[in-house]
Amino acid sequence: MTEGGDAPARPAGGRSGGGSRRVGRPPRIDRAAIARAAGELPLEELTMRSVAERLGVSVAGLYHHVSGRDELLRLAAEQSGLRMTLPRDEGRHWAAWCYQWADYTRRAFVADPELLKQYIDGALGATVMADHIEAAMGLCVRQGFSEQDAFDLYELVSECALGGAISEIRDGRDAQAGEPLDLALRRVLAGRPEAAMPRVRRLLEGGSLRRAPFAERVATVLAGVAARRGEEGPEVVRQVLAAAASSPEGTRARH
């Protein structure tokens, strides 16, 4: 008996030896099974071979269902999108909910930059995001937004999340390369006359060249939305910063 209690397969044609071929039906797969397998692997490890091994099929057999790694990446991104969950509607202020959605989305893309690339390439389209759009609109409509304004707000918050993710990914890569923004600007200034770029120079000399925390940037955007609605901007800022402080990420959610 083999491990797990299965009887060993009989050699083909009654012959024995290391070159015998196992008898039995090959595993049956479809695109749904392939998508699930692809979604279970880190995107950087996603290859035709890794998915084939996970499914117990040959690479050649896998090619009967998908065209190559690019299609696997798209399927995996769709699975990741389906696993993304909106914050629960617990009666919170709309601005607090919007911040939590933006922060969750930003962190998901920062954790997996390949997912962001697939989003840009269209993998997380309407088919994947439709339920999220409906849920977000529903929450905002319940708090007095028109359906069009609710959709506009969803789009605006999504753009904040994407912009924040791109900035953070870029900053991380610049730091790994040994040239964060402040050092890069100092190198530029070193080759310019002393009177050049005075504003940037003063910021660098004062040590205050930094990007505002993500929560503050989102609060600024949402305060503008509130102003157009006749709401109090400071209250929106307070709601966003309170949501950031109470998030599972703690103070890390503010950056």
Q: Does the pLDDT of residue 232 top 50, yes or no?
A: yes
Q: How confident is the model at residue 249 (pLDDT cuts 50, 70, 90)?
A: low
What pLDDT is attached to residue 254? 40
pLDDT (tens digit per residue) in 114-138: 888 878 877 777 777 888 899 899 9
Q: DSSP alpha helices (H): ranges in the chain?
A: 31-39, 48-55, 59-62, 69-83, 94-111, 113-120, 126-142, 147-176, 181-190, 198-206, 214-229, 233-245
What angle, rounded to 10 degrees, do the helices at 147-176 and 126-142 form?
A: 120
> Is it the case that residue 22 has pLDDT exceeding 80?
no
Question: Model pTM?
Answer: 0.70
- In this predicted structure, the answer to whether residue 1 has a pLDDT above a threshold of 60 is no
With bands split at pLDDT 50, 70 and 90, how would you rate the model's confidence at 88? confident
> What class is the 26-80 domain?
mainly alpha
Percent of the chain with pLDDT over 90: 49
Whether the predicted pLDDT of 7 surpasses 80: no
Local confidence band at 27 (pLDDT 50, 70, 90 cut-offs) = low
Average confidence (pLDDT) over 65-71: 88
Indicate the SS3 state at residue 210.
coil
Is residue 49 within 8 A of residue 59, CB to CB? The reply is: yes
> What was the pLDDT predicted at 113?
86
- In this prediction, residue 248 has a pLDDT band, given cuts at 50, 70 and 90, of low
**pLDDT of 135-179, one tens digit each?**
899 999 999 999 999 999 999 999 999 999 999 999 999 989 988
Mean pLDDT for the stretch of residues 227-234: 94
